[in-house]
Chains A and B, each alone.
Chain A
Amino acid sequence: MATFYGEVLPVISRAVDDEEEDDESVSLECDPFLHWSGRIRNNLLHQPNGKLTCNILVVAIGPAAVGFTDILIKHGDYHLVGGIFSGLRDGDQQSLSQKLPTDKTCYIYRSNEDASTFICLCNMDVAVEQCHAWVNQLFSDFDAEDAYVVVLNTLHSSKFTSEVPTSDLPLPIIRGLKTNKFAGTPLCPVLEQPNLVTGLAAQVMTYCQANGLRAALYQCYTNARRLVDVPTIKAFMPVLESTPVRDIIRPNPEAEQQMRDIVALHEVQDTLYL
């Protein structure tokens, strides 16, 4: 077709957008990668099946869930063993040395008391294109056949559909879902139809359901700005009495103050209303 000198047109017509032809060339190589510490890599080499035994895995997604898990579950004896990195955005961290609770990191910790207990704190947005690979990476080095998996996630209350108007809901609220293999029931109301959970939490639960693992999701709906404030963090409290978390926690007398500190750190980073 008519075009100026030197222009190369990859399409048959400017007027018609044939989506099917665009499709093939769009995909990026953007799979996340899991980096273990040297000690774990060594461990993996010496395991009979090349995998780490995992009996308890807690996956916390989002700042409120990460804050809750950090303060009330992980505050015991845990050490950093690895991280999952995506490298999609310029600001994405690629090292294991970020220490602040507001850093956009995804780190994995292992308990010093029980080597089969792991916690994954995911404080970054994992793109939907990466969820599948992210979950496969996480479970690829775990022998999780007998594991209990707990997933904590936060969403804005506008995503919650019910007959009750949002202004009448006692926010933040928590809802649960579980896989068939999980024998108990979540210690909160089950997520009602027609609500759906998407993203990383959904991919973890789908993996667990399809592979016959015991998993429970605790989904918090909140109207807090940046989805983190003290009531939202506290909304996850029922998790402390659930299987398997109740077997691995120790009381933290400074929990209240640490929650306020984390929320304050997030507020400082929020430049929306300077």
Chain B
Amino acid sequence: MYIPAAKDKKYQWEEYTLLVPTVSVGNVGQLTADLIISTLWMDRIGYIMHEAITPAIGNNPFAHADATACKLTSCCEVYESAATQVMVIQQRAPLIKGRVHSYVKWLSEWIREKKFRQVVIVGSTFSHERLDYQMEGSPYRIVQSKPMKERMGDFFSEMMGWKDLEPRPSLIDMPADSGDGQSNKGINTRALYMPGSGIAKPLLEAIQDMPVLVFLMFCSEGDNAQDAIGLAQQLNGWMNLISKKEERRGSELSTDVARGIVDWKIPTSWKHFYGTHFDQTLFH
């Protein structure tokens, strides 16, 4: 269930874009969400509690490095930026096996109930599963729902240079013109092959009658911070969340900043990403 942080605050959910990172290869979607939440100084507006979510808590992952106050953060929370009309669901632990479908069902019903303007599902997929022709060029791929395609036309391919995820029909698929009316109902999700992308595909299937964009990146497990920065840059190119000239609250205090097209503020929770330095006493 969704529990709002402030009971009396109301939101015009229909005006917001919802970003849903999935737990996927290298956690790239979640790292991208971290960057966006951190740089935009988004407010936490609610909590998602569901039996499928592994419990996890910690101190505020977006606090300043020297902050000593305690602000409890739980595993799955909703953040909001009124200035950019974006909401983000940030999830910090995997879903419990056997309950993924019930979570996707609840999430899709909640998204539908709130009637978001559009939904962007952000994730990654195994780069070792690429076919030869996918190995060249951009590692980014998109899948659009029909309403999104109708709304945006060729914008993503012409202006952003994003490629549609190449379909990968399996041997058991019916031919496209089988006349069963599937092309009228929605996109052919059976032909979409997104290994390692978590709930991206089932969620897309559940809400494909809304404007949905699935944004994927081919990657492998490793140091995925740069992948997340790249993905965030791409999204920013379309959504214009952060511009260089904009005055951002806390920009003078920011220490960890990734230089590039946009100054992304690296959250303090990214400290010791791959563990701390080894213990010297091991070699005494």
Selected contact of A20 from candidates B57, B92, B202, B279, CB within 8 Å: B202
- Other-chain contact of B56, A192, A197, A211 (Cβ < 8 Å): A197
Q: Scan A12-29; emit 1 where CB is below 8 A from any B CB, else 0.
A: 100000001001101110
Is B147 interfacial (CB 8 A cutoff)? no
Are B269 and A194 closer than 8 Å at their CB atoms? yes
Bound form: Cα–Cα A203–B271 in Å: 24
Number of A-B contacts (CB under 8 A): 125
Instruction: Give the size range of B's interface with the partner.
Output: 35 or more
Q: Give the residue among A20, A179, A206, A211 with the most B Cβ atoms within 10 A.
A: A206
Q: Given the complex of chains A and B, what is the CA–CA distance between A211 and B2 in angstroms?
A: 11
Does B99 sit at the interface, judged by CB under 8 A? yes
- What is the 8 Å Cβ interface bit string for chain A, positions 145-164, against chain B (1 contact, 0 not)? 00000000000000001110
Contact A193/B68 with A26-B97, A27-B98 known, Cβ cut-off 8 Å:
no
Flag whether B270 is at the interface (Cβ < 8 A). Answer: yes
Contact partner, A132, options B55, B61, B98, Cβ 8 Å? B55
A201–B72 Cα distance when bound, in Å, is: 13
User: Beta-carbon contacts of A175-213 to B below 8 Å, as 1s and 0s?
Assistant: 011111000011000111111111111110111011100
**Minimum distance in angstroms from A68 CB to a CB of chain B:** 21
Q: Are B55 and A165 in contact (CB under 8 A)?
A: no
Given contacts A20-B202, A176-B70, contact A161 B59 (CB under 8 A): no
The answer to whether A178 and B72 have CB atoms under 8 Å apart is yes
Q: Quick one: closest B residue to A167, CB to CB? A: B281
Q: Is A129 an interface residue (CB 8 A)?
A: yes
Cα distance A196–B271 when bound, in Å? 13
Assess the B59–A165 pair: CB atoms within 8 A: no
Q: Which of B51, B55, B100, B269 lies in contact with A206, CB distance below 8 A?
A: B55
Q: Is the CB of A198 within 8 A of B276?
A: no
Tell me the minimal C-beta distance from A18 to chain B in angstroms. Answer: 9
For the complex formed, measure the closest distance between the CB of B96 and the CB atoms of chain A, giving whole angstroms. 5
Q: Is the pair B172, A12 in contact by a Cβ cutoff of 8 Å?
A: yes
A210 touching B3, Cβ below 8 Å: yes
Closest to B199 in A: A20
Q: Which of B49-68 contact A (CB under 8 A)?
A: 49-51, 53-61, 63, 68
Enumerate chain A residues within 8 angstroms of B60, measured Cβ to Cβ: 193
**What does the 1/0 interface line of B201-220 toward A look like (CB < 8 Å)?**
11000000000000000000
In the complex, A77→B148 CA distance in Å?
65
Please tell me which one of the listed residues B97, B271, B279 contacts residue A166 in the complex, with CB atoms under 8 A apart: B279
Interface residues of A in 206-234 (CB under 8 A from B): 206-207, 209-211, 217
B249 contacts partner chain A, Cβ-Cβ < 8 Å? no
B63: contacting residue among A193, A198, A203, CB under 8 A: A193
Given A194-B268, A197-B57, A209-B57, 6 more A-B residue pairs with CB atoms under 8 Å apart are: A23-B101, A133-B51, A165-B278, A197-B56, A198-B54, A205-B57
Chain B residues at the A interface, C-beta cutoff of 8 Å: 3, 47, 49-51, 53-61, 63, 68-72, 74-75, 92-93, 96-101, 172, 201-202, 268-273, 275-281
7 contacts between A and B (CB under 8 A): A128-B96, A132-B50, A178-B72, A185-B70, A202-B75, A206-B57, A210-B3
